[in-house]
């Protein structure tokens, strides 16, 4: 069973949010990894090559867009891994920046219930 678990990496600087997301995804049968800033997120991502990424935009050290750009530079794993941006920003500059790097979806935190975020991830991973 353990091998079937999909790994999801959540990169979010707000601890309470990070905890909520990690707890929810673990409950839903994921192996949830976490990071609290862009640089740490990049390190974990390159080491673990998770199946899915959820990234915030405004973060210390490295913002989410830059992080996504760097991940996409990795040709083996990073080019295709599905990424969701989960953020407080809703301006089209951020959305179109994110679209440049093949973001799977761009979600505004307040508009989404955790159940629906999980559903979206599961749909993408065909679970």
Partner 1 sequence: MKIKRKIIVKLSDKVLLIIFLFASGLLFTVQFVIGGSLAQIFVLSYIVYNFMFVMAYLVSYRFSKRITDLTFKIEAMAAGDISKRLRVAGYDEISQLTNAMNELMSRLQTGVAQDVSTHKELAQAKSDFVTLASHQLRTPLSIIKWYIDFFITGDAGKLTDGQLKYLKEVYKSNERLIELVNALLDVSRIDVGTFSIEPEPTDIIEKAKAAISKFKAEIYEKKINLELNFDELPKINLDPRLTQIVFENIFSNAVKYTPENGTIRFEIKKTVHDILIKISDTGCGIPREQQPKIFTKLFRADNVRRIESVGTGLGLYIAKAVIEKSGGKVWFQSPSLDLLLSPGKKDKGLPLDKRDQGTTFFITIPLKGMKKKYGTKKLTSLEH
Determine which residue in the list 5, 27, 100, 102 makes contact with partner 1, applying CB under 8 A: 27
Q: Does 88 bind partner 1 (CB under 8 A)?
A: yes
The reply to whether 14 sits near partner 1 by the rule CB under 8 A is yes
Angle 67-71-75 from CA coordinates, rounded to 5°: 160
Q: Which one of 5, 43, 115, 125 is in contact with partner 1 (CB under 8 A)?
A: 115
64 Rama sector, left if φ>0, alpha if ψ -120 to 50, beta otherwise: alpha
95 near partner 1, judged by CB under 8 A: yes
Shortest separation between residue 43's beta carbon and partner 1, angstroms: 25
Q: Is the dihedral of CA 86, 87, 90, 96 positive or negative?
A: negative
**120 forms part of the interface with partner 1 (CB under 8 A):** no
- Residue 82: what are its φ and ψ, rounded to 5°? -70, 135
Find the angle CA(31)-CA(97)-CA(56) to the nearest 5 degrees. Answer: 35
Minimum separation from the CB atom of position 119 to partner 1 (A) = 12
Q: Which residues bind partner 1 (CB under 8 A)?
A: 14, 16-17, 20, 23-24, 27, 58, 88-93, 95, 108-111, 113-115
């Amino acid at each position: 069973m353990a091998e079937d678990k999909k790994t999801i990496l959540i990169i979010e600087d707000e601890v309470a949010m990070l905890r909520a997301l990690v707890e929810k995804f673990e409950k839903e049968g994921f192996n949830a990894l976490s990071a609290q800033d862009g640089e740490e997120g990049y390190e974990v991502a390159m080491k673990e090559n998770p199946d899915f990424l959820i990234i915030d935009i405004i973060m210390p050290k490295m913002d989410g867009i830059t992080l996504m750009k760097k991940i996409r530079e990795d040709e083996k794993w990073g080019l295709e891994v599905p990424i969701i941006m989960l953020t407080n920003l809703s301006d089209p500059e951020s959305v179109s920046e994110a679209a440049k790097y093949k973001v799977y979806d761009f979600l505004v935190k307040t508009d989404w219930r955790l159940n629906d975020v999980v559903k979206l991830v599961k749909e993408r991973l065909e679970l």
